[in-house]
Chains A and B, each alone.
Chain A
Amino acid sequence: MPRVREMLAYSFMQNAFAASGIVAVLAGLVGFFLVLRAQSFAGHALSHIGFAGATGAALLGAPPLAGMLAFTLAGGVLMGALGEQVAQRDVAIGVVLSLALGLGVLFLHFFTSSAAQATSLLFGNVLGVDGGTIRALLVLAVVGLAALAAIARPLLFASLHPELAEAKGVNLRLVAMLFLAIAALAVAEASQIVGVLLVFTLMVGPPATAQMLSTRFWTALPLAALLALAEAWAGLVLAYATDWPTSFWITALSGAAYGLAALGQRRAAAG
């Protein structure tokens, strides 16, 4: 207990808990639909596009979060506009994401800052989050969740049964664009915590685990957010206790939860 009080006395730990809490809930809920729509690779690509944006912004002296957001939003809307299938076409996405990462490397080269800047962008630096960033994360998360709540119904319909949704008057392209814009927001947020290379760990791991644990939409959806939150916070505690990187612990917990759920499911199927 005294160690917990000691941990929470540090303002950087308070900030880290607040930031990762906000981001985990957003990432878990948005990621749920990303997994449902089989677009997790598109989410991964968005984070790489965001890397180019963040390094480009740093080069221009602008805040990296702003640059990342601008790029991921543009990428998300474009992917959505190009049509449902494009967002699931992994070769085209693979080419674009490596191109974006390459651009990021070029921007870093001109920026000639410390390697620490690159590392924190790629692998996250939740312990370095300040109050201003937390406020930005909170505002963006509220906007993202409000937008998600507004489109959740047609989004679910379009994700489960696109042909019927289209016949019932759902604008598939509009829904895809809006959703990928929301996903872009979540990706930009998640990158602040676990870095662009590890957004999967919050956006795909917990939702995929939740979908294995429950077949009910209204159980699995909040469970995805809850798992993301638990993994993020437990990761922080473990990082504090061991002095190992937070991102490592979050990925380890996310992977372990997924593995256990998969194992449990195979047991259930066999039994």
Chain B
Amino acid sequence: MTSAIRLTGVRLGLAGRMVLNGIDLAIEPGEFIGVLGPNGAGKTTLMRAILGLIAPASGSIEVFGTPAKPGNPAIGYLPQLRGGLGAPRLRGRDFVAAACDGQRFGLPLLDRGTARAVTAALAAVGAEALADRPIAALSGGERQRLLLAQALLGAPRLLLLDEPLISLDPRRQEELVALVRRLQLRSGVTVLFSAHDLNPLLGALDRVLYLGAGEAALGTVDQVITAPVLSRLYGTAIEVARVHGRVFVLGGGAEAEREAHRHEAHDHHHAAGA
């Protein structure tokens, strides 16, 4: 069987820094993969490379057996939201519809086929009620559902979801993860779901892809979320604690996942100041 995603000896750079340094891995069709790792570990970069938007410095990336290239209709993508969405006054349905064959030239006409596809995508994420409201009137969770509806257009075989839980409260996080898991079980779509925190994904994921220090570890939670593996990825001594079925990654007495993000933000400040 062809893998959904196959990386062979991939070295991937961003702004003169290697975020992935010689990675080999294969993700099988129908898997739900949680993508984790500190900020700057390359979660977004990896997804953009799978989309064919960034070429690896060396090695190859294959998606369902063909080299990664932009405009692959087999991939649905939910990019990480930086700031708000454009056109706050536009209704949700028209926002979603813009992604329907949006790369073709011509007028963005809402023909019957487009309308049906948009309605189906909105229904799949339970967002029919949001369709007629302007984007500005939606909450963060509601916007994420619209973006998910957009990602589902064209019945993709692979979904790349980049930090969709950001800025959602715990209950909305749970709802969104459960929704993606339901969609995945129903359609057999392969899911790469990146997140800051492993815990909201624990009930849904099949395997974890943990990125850090140019390396990657792919396996079950028990294989990957261990002190030796994470110590290697973080480049510092890491402990893993399990409390009531939840997993906490600790380094130097603090929670490493959060701590790593703080350091990252700190570094950016220095870079900006210099």
**Which residues of A pack against B, CB within 8 Å?**
36-38, 149-154, 156-170, 211-212, 215-218, 220
Contact = CB atoms under 8 A, between A and B. Distances in A.
B132 A215 contact: yes
Interface stretch (B83-91, B176-184, B186-194): B83-91
B53 interface: yes
Contacts of A216: 91, 94
B104 A154 contact: yes
B91 to A, nearest CB: 4
B123 to A, nearest CB: 20
A156 B89 contact: no
B90 A215 contact: yes
Nearest to B136: A215
Contact of A38 (B86, B91, B94): B86
Interface in B96-117: 97-99, 101-108, 110
Given A149-B107, A152-B107, A217-B108, 4 more contacts: A160-B86, A170-B102, A217-B90, A217-B94
B103 A161 contact: no
Given A169-B70, A216-B94, A157 B86 contact: no
B103 A168 contact: yes
A149 B106 contact: yes
Interface stretch (B32-40, B71-79, B224-232, B240-248): B71-79
Contacts of B90: 36, 160, 211, 215, 217, 220
A38 B83 CA distance: 14
B85 A153 contact: no
A159 B78 CA distance: 16
A165 B87 contact: no
Given A161-B85, A161-B86, A167-B53, A153 B91 contact: no
Nearest 10 CB-CB pairs, A to B? A169-B71, A157-B102, A163-B79, A215-B91, A217-B94, A153-B108, A211-B89, A167-B51, A215-B134, A169-B103
A170 B98 contact: no
Contact of B103 (A37, A157, A159, A220): A157
Interface residues of B, number: 35
A159 B87 contact: yes
A76 B212 CA distance: 42
Nearest to A265: B89
Which has the most chain B C-beta neighbours within 10 Å: A165, A166, A212?
A166
B150 interface: yes
Contact of A167 (B77, B86, B110, B147): B77
Q: Is the interface of A mostly helix, strand, loop or mixed?
A: helix
A158 B70 CA distance: 15
Interface string B184-215: 00000000000000000000000000000000
B75 A36 contact: no
B32 to A, nearest CB: 21
Contacts of B133: 215
Interface in B46-89: 48, 51, 53, 70-71, 75, 77-79, 85-87, 89
B95 interface: yes
A161 B101 contact: no
A150 B95 contact: no
Contact of B105 (A153, A160, A168, A215): A153
Contacts of B79: 161, 163-164, 167
A267 to B, nearest CB: 15
Contacts of B53: 166-167
A38 B88 CA distance: 11
B102 A165 contact: yes
B104 A153 contact: yes
Given A160-B90, A167-B70, A150 B105 contact: yes
A9 to B, nearest CB: 40
B266 to A, nearest CB: 25
Contacts of A168: 70-71, 77, 99, 102-103
A154 B105 contact: yes
Nearest to A163: B79
B95 to A, nearest CB: 6
Interface in B230-270: none
A212 B89 contact: yes
Nearest to B102: A157
B89 A215 contact: yes
A150 B106 contact: yes
Nearest to A38: B86
A218 to B, nearest CB: 7
Contacts of A149: 106-107
A212 B91 CA distance: 11
Contacts of A167: 48, 51, 53, 70-71, 75, 77, 79
Contacts of B150: 161, 164
Contacts of B134: 215
A165 B48 CA distance: 13
Interface in B125-146: 132-134
Contacts of A212: 89
